[in-house]
Structure 1
Amino acid sequence: MTYIRLLLIISVLSPIMTAVAQPANRAGIEQTDFGTFPDGRVAQLFTLRNTAGMTVQITNYGGYIVSWTAPDRDARQENITLGLPSFADYLKGTPSLGPIIGRFGNRICGGTFTLDGQVYTVAKNAGVNHIHGGRVGFDKKLWTATTKSGPEPSLALQYTSPDGEEGYPGTLAVTVTYTVQKDNALRIDYQATTNKPTVLNLTNHAYFNLSGMKRDVLNQELLIKADQVLLTDKTQIPTGELKPVAGTVFDFTKATSIGLRINDTTDTQLRYGKGYDHCWVFTDSSRTLKLGATLYEPVSGRLMTMYTTEPAVQIYTANHLNGSLKGKEGVAYQRRWGVCLETQHFPDAPNHPNFPTTTLRPGETYRSTTVYKFSVR
């Protein structure tokens, strides 16, 4: 009888003990030291979490998304973006594994542009061209951080870029705010003002892999709400021609595996990019928040839905990763181990008057929003 009574007591207490050992997820934001610069400055790591268990880690060094968990169809939380193990690894330089890109995302032909009749020269850090803001772009700056806790925690990063930095005109005040929403979405809001006319094209360069770093992204299914793509020359500068995607290797108007046509060596554009590294122009050209793309991983069941106010997205399929970098999980990042969905204005827009303008003038406020929402199916 004593033994039976003991079993009954254990059966009653067991759920209570489990509940104590595994408390419900609490939304909020935590701050820890991430690492120290040679000059003594300290970079911070911020962990944003919602009640559903999604966790996003971001550092104020370059605004890098260091890790980002999302549940699979069995509710397992796994990291879905490429990131490095330590601050020291980030200081060595990365192939833009998740930072804020600025002042100008993507390429500028020949490292020059003309604005209001004046020629400006910026760094040629991509062969003969300029890319992603220069040699010391926004990804290499220590940003000032402000946090907000609550059910939808947010991190606001602020940086003031001085007039002439990397060759760009105007003192530019930039704020980028990351918010982890209740609905398992990360919202990124960009805002900027300038005291002189300048050009601006901000984005984030996260590499997504919805398998949880188990395999490359070639089986992941991409849909892009775009019926045109920008053609480029062999240095990947837009020629100015917008080509319909219908019937081409760029047709993702229906969900299609990334690997289906990526190795089509008969396509000149794919040879130029060594895979996909092109700008798709959304069918909806409005500046409202709209569906831009989806990415689905059939094995895990993870579905990412991307919304943006931008007119285009640069899709990059990690064509130059070679296994030399290892991520937080100890996995070597091989070629095609991730895919970037960089929402933005068109590459080289300052040199193409027919492209949507990237000019920002005094008295104006640059605003852009992109949301990456996760679900399963």
Structure 2
Amino acid sequence: MNKFTLIACIAIAMLSSCTAQKSNENLTESGLNPAKFDTIIDGTKAVKLYTLKNENGMEVCVTNFGGRIVSIMVPDKAGKMQDVVLGFDNVADYINVPSDFGASIGRYANRINKGIIVIDNDSIQLPQNNFGHCLHGGPKGWQYQVYEAKQINDQTLELTMNSADGDQNFPGNVVAKVTYKLTPDNSIDISYSATTDKKTVINMTNHSYFNLSGDASTLSTDNKLFVNSDSITPIDSTCMTSGEMMAVKNTPFDFSTERAISEKIGDTTCEQIKNGNGYDHNWVLKDKGNINVLAAKLTSPKSGITLQVYTNEPGIQVYTGNFLDGTVKGKKGIVYQQRAAVCLETQHYPDSPNKPQWPSVILEPGKTYTSHCIYKFSVEK
């Protein structure tokens, strides 16, 4: 090798090193490459990855495709930063692989019986995409649509959904907003609002899949769970509520005292466990409507990471990832197995449009729908 060839090789090596270093500098704390989220949908709707950070080093990444939380980096009991939610590392997978990972769900979170709502004596047929029911707003709910995004500052992201009259056959032109705010106490403060020009139904939530161990290849059933509730809204074999309330005392659903999810999730002598294939139920919160009272708490004994949930909603859906089946590959190439995560979805009760005895989900013109959820992270050592 002559000296000119040697010099050329050194130059190429240095250039490659600089390029790799620059590429690494562009990655988020969770290892995401924002370039993999840049795309245009329907010719005009820009999709990007947005990053929120606070003074403690906590990081939350959100894509405006579906208003989805993609990653949450929080410290564990050893002080090491861990990503505690499931998801994908590129927007193509969010578009092409059916999932609700991290999504801002609308118009109606959870299920509507047989996809039928009646408004002012007018019966409206919605899509039937889950056991004959309408789930999470239908197969093209807001989790599969593009929110307009405005990053207010390093800690705040505002997302806006302009949902046309007839979107998934729901009535009314609706303008909905989701605001993510990362606070100094390591909380993700989520505020929802919506207005309409025609009477409609609204029930929004966040559908993050939490694996608080930071290792999504492991199950989350060892997590300890507390729910501030004395009852659930029981379901049938199609996961549809009956309109009744069921006391949780002396059942596998009693988490009024913190205990491991694994303790009774396999108790198939319980009809409700069989119907949900585990836990996939709405808990009726004792202090419904009080944002200052703890609604639920989830703790990983492995990492020490704790998630506290506060809400002004009357209910919370606890879903233990029962329908994850090892066919979906997420971030870092990890295959998501059954019960690899726990979802804590603050909400009005499932099928409330058809249960007049429950808190109303009707939104009328001139009124504003609001909902509030706080996910607060800390460590138990």
On whether the aligned pair clears a TM of 0.5, the verdict is yes
- Does residue 54 of the first structure (1) align with residue 53 of the second (2)? no
* Secondary structure class of the residue paired with 1:110: helix
Corresponding position of 1:82:
86
Q: Kindly indicate whether the alpha-carbon contact (under 8 Å) linking 1:204 and 1:342 is maintained by their aligned counterparts in 2.
A: yes
2:116 pairs with 1:112: yes
Deviations 1:46-103 (Å, cap 9, x if unpaired)? 0111111111100011011111111101111110000112111111133211111110
Whole-angstrom distance in 1 between the partners of 2:330 and 2:34: 22
TM-score by length of 1: 0.89
Q: 1:318 to 1:84 in 2, by over 3 A?
A: same
Aligned residue for 1:182?
A: 184
Q: RMSD across aligned C-alpha pairs, in angstroms?
A: 1.9
Which one of 304, 310, 313 corresponds to residue 316 of structure 2? 313
Partner of 1:161: 163
- Is 1:33–1:43's contact at 8 Å kept on the other side of the alignment? no
Q: Distance in 2 between matches of 1:169 and 1:362?
A: 12
Answer whether contact 1:289 1:369 (CA < 8 A) is retained. Answer: no
Q: What's the offset of the Cα at 1:303?
A: 0.8
Cα deviation for residue 289 of structure 1 reads: 4.2
Distance 1:300 1:67 in 2: 17
Give me the whole-angstrom Cα distance separating, in 2, the residues matched to 1:258 and 1:146: 38
- Corresponding letter in the other structure for 1:145: A
Unaligned runs of 5+ in 2: 1-28
Q: Distance in 2 between matches of 1:293 and 1:207?
A: 15
Residue 288 of structure 1: how far off its partner (Å): 4.0
Q: 2: distance between equivalents of 1:246 and 1:356?
A: 24
Q: Which residue in the other structure is 1:245 paired with?
A: 248
Where structure 1 has 5 or more consecutive residues not aligned to the other structure, the ranges are: 1-25
What do residues 161-183 of structure 1 show as CA deviations (whole Å, max 9, x unaligned)? Answer: 11111111111110000011111
Cα distance per residue 1:5-54 (max 9 Å; x no partner): xxxxxxxxxxxxxxxxxxxxx9xxx9767132464443110011111111
- Alignment CA distance shift 1:116-1:289 (3 Å): farther
User: Sequence identity, in percent?
Assistant: 41
Check whether the contact 2:114–2:134 (CA below 8 A) recurs between aligned residues. yes
Structure 1 residue 269 displacement after superposition: 0.9
CA–CA separation in structure 1 for the residues paired with 2:171 and 2:152: 32
CA contact (8 A) 2:172 2:199 kept: yes
Within the alignment, does 1:92 sit opposite 2:89 as a pair?
A: no
The separation in 2 between residues aligned to 1:147 and 1:192, in whole angstroms, is 19
Q: Secondary structure at the match of 1:208?
A: coil
* Segments of 4+ moved more than 3 angstroms: 30-33, 37-42
Alignment of 1:1-377 (within 5 A): 34-37=37-40, 39-40=42-43, 41-150=45-154, 153-212=155-214, 213-377=216-380
What's the CA shift string for 1:84-135, capped at 9, x where partnerless? 1211111113321111111000001111011121111100011211100011
Partner of 1:210: helix, strand, or coil?
A: coil
Distance 1:199 1:251, change over 3 A: same
- In 1, Cα distance between the equivalents of 2:338 and 2:238? 20
Tell me if the contact between 1:32 and 1:46 (Cα under 8 Å) persists in the aligned partners.
no
Maintained 8 Å contact 2:87/2:102? yes
Amino acid of the residue matched to residue 95 of structure 2? Answer: L
What one-letter code is carried by the residue in structure 1 that aligns with 2:288?
S
> 1: distance between equivalents of 2:368 and 2:290?
14
Within 2, Cα distance between the matches of 1:363 and 1:195?
8
SS at match of 2:177: strand
Q: How many pairs align?
A: 349
Displacement of 1:367 in angstroms is: 0.7
Whether contact under 8 Å (1:322, 1:335) holds in the other structure is yes
TM-score using structure 2 length: 0.88
Larger displacement relative to structure 2 (132-141 or 324-333): 324-333
* C-alpha distance in 2 between matches for 1:332 and 1:69: 20
